[in-house]
Amino acid sequence: MKRRHLLSTLVLAGAAGALGTTSPATAASTGVLPSRVPLPGGFAPEGIAIRGATFYTGSLTGGAIYRGDLVSGEGSVLVPGWDGGCAIGMHTDPRGRLWVARGWHGYAEVLDGRTGSRLAKYPLTGDLANTFVNDCVITRDAVYFTDSGRACLYVVPLGPGGRLPSPGAVRTIELTGGAADVSGFNNGIEVLPDGRLILVQMLSGKLFTVDPRTGQSTVVDTGGASLAQGDGLVLRGANLYVCQNYTANKISVVELSRDARSGRLTREITDPRFDSPSTIAPFGPHLYAVNARFLAPQEPSTTYELLRVHS
């Protein structure tokens, strides 16, 4: 099934692109971080990135980028969306740049995290009929992107001091092994301490490590634990946090072995407020989850939020 067709089962086409500029404020006068950060009605968020106390999230159905403050709960649209736009996984780098995966448009974008201005655009593939550039992770010398419709990863190499390369420097890494099965739907991605990558397949519920030099993937033995509907990943020490969307509505914690050949499901973080949590990002001892509400009606009045949970 093509990614665009699969996505249509998550959201209805035609939701808002450019949206209102201010969310309702959440007072933080008590000194306690808000447990809920509201987003604009109809925004349809998917990805999240956090730098300091500033968060960013993107609209799945409009492509807008929203920036807010985790302490006050206030924010506004940093980059307007457009009809048919799409913003999926995102990550901030040490230089304050925001990297954004642009889904079925087949490219990645680098934005100034303060102004929202575009610093670079990287076309990743010309196969727009079968592509869905989904998530990204930043390492010391490169940025890697998953494609849920193709058996590959894309790499944008970084120059000295994190210098942005020309668009022609983008490389494609063809996957081999189990992660090459596109029916598994490669989704979230993280980097291991030894430089290997780890990704989750949303439909197969499996984890794979990937050698970024060769593209060879190896399944992680989770002892039979399924991570079906796995989406965003966060690695903290040996613990891999796997956000599971749709009706799974939880964040699974997998303790990885030192070589990441195996992992043990140690606990599940649940919350009655979860409604298709898609991606997560850490802030101190907390995780902030995007309540994507994939199964809710995609209307301008549909409410969305970020939820704070203890990791």
**For the chain, which ranges sit under pLDDT 50?**
1-30
Per-residue exposure over 183-201, b if at least 16 CB sit within 10 Å of its own CB, e if not: ebbbbbbbbeeeebbbbbb
- Name the nearest CA neighbour of 64 among 49, 50, 84: 84
Q: Which fold has domain 37-310?
A: Neuraminidase (2.120.10)
- How far is it, in rounded angstroms, from Cα 54 to Cα 71? 9
Taking the domains of the chain in order of start, what are their residue ranges? Answer: 37-310
pTM of the full structure: 0.90
User: pLDDT at position 191, please?
Assistant: 98
Residue the block writes with tokens 């010398």: 141
Edge-to-edge strand order for the sheet containing 142-147? 133-138, 142-147, 152-157, 171-174
**How does DSSP classify residue 221?**
B
What is the reported pLDDT for 146? Answer: 98
